[in-house]
């Protein structure tokens, strides 16, 4: 037996309905679509979201909010308590955070450090944004904060 000899069991597969292939097929002329009407036409039928004449969901729900200039900046968030794995006087950069598994590789373009938890020792933190509380805690331990562009 070869791989090319394998076939489904008889009756296990059913050939698809080939409509519009002449009167001998039994599905010619109107191609099982009946006579005239919206649904008989090419591209006919109800649109997506149509609810039988009821006001559709996308029109019933209120539209709220506005984000100018293409939306907001999303940051990868890192709390101070997560920085405990770094050695004393180490430089904390987005690439180092990726290696430590604190952020994903695709998120290293925008990183923000928040003040959740405490930092054990002095660190030099080079990220794109730092909260005021995080900055105060880092500098209180003798560390430095550098904001990247």
pLDDT of 129 higher than 90: yes
Please give the residue that has the higher pLDDT: either 3 or 72.
Answer: 3
**Residue 12 falls within a domain, yes or no?**
no
Instruction: Please report which confidence band the pLDDT of residue 54 belongs to, taking 50, 70 and 90 as the band edges.
Output: very high
Question: Which pair of structure tokens corresponds to residue 34?
Answer: 């009946």
CATH for 92: 3.100.10.10
* Angstrom distance (rounded) from CA 83 to CA 130: 13
Instruction: Please report which confidence band the pLDDT of residue 1 belongs to, taking 50, 70 and 90 as the band edges.
Output: confident
- Distances from the Cα of 28 to the Cαs of 8, 24, 38, 65, 127, in angstroms? 29, 7, 19, 53, 68
**Average pLDDT rounded to a whole number, residues 52-79:** 90
What pLDDT shows up at residue 14? 87
* Angstrom distance (rounded) from CA 101 to CA 95: 10
**Residue 4 falls within a domain, yes or no?**
no
Question: Which pair of structure tokens corresponds to residue 136?
Answer: 């105060």
**18-46 tens-digit pLDDT:** 999 999 999 999 999 999 999 999 999 99
Domain residues for the domain of 108 are: 76-147
| Cβ(115)–Cβ(134) below 8 Å | yes
**42-52 tens-digit pLDDT:** 999 999 999 99
What pLDDT shows up at residue 80? 92
DSSP secondary structure, 59-106, as one string: HHSPP----GGG-----EEEEGGGGGGSPTT-EE-HHHHHHTTSS-GG
Number of domains in the chain: 1
**Residue 39 falls within a domain, yes or no?**
no
**Residue 49 falls within a domain, yes or no?**
no
**Residue 96 falls within a domain, yes or no?**
yes
Strands across the sheet containing 129-130: 76-79, 111-114, 129-130
- Distances from the Cα of 92 to the Cαs of 36, 96, 120, in angstroms? 70, 6, 14
């Amino acid at each position: 037996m070869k791989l090319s000899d394998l076939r489904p069991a008889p009756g296990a597969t059913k050939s698809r309905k080939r409509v519009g292939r002449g009167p001998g097929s039994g599905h010619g002329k109107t191609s099982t679509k009946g006579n005239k009407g919206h649904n008989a036409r090419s591209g006919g039928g109800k649109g997506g979201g149509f609810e039988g004449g009821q006001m559709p969901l996308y029109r019933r729900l209120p539209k709220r909010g506005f984000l100018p200039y293409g939306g907001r900046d999303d940051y990868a968030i890192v709390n101070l308590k997560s920085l405990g794995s770094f050695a004393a006087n180490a430089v904390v950069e987005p690439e180092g955070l990726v290696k430590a598994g604190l952020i994903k590789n695709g998120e290293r373009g925008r990183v923000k450090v928040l003040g959740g938890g405490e930092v054990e020792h002095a660190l030099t933190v080079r990220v794109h944004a730092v909260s005021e509380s995080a900055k105060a805690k880092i500098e209180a331990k003798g560390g430095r904060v550098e904001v990247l562009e």
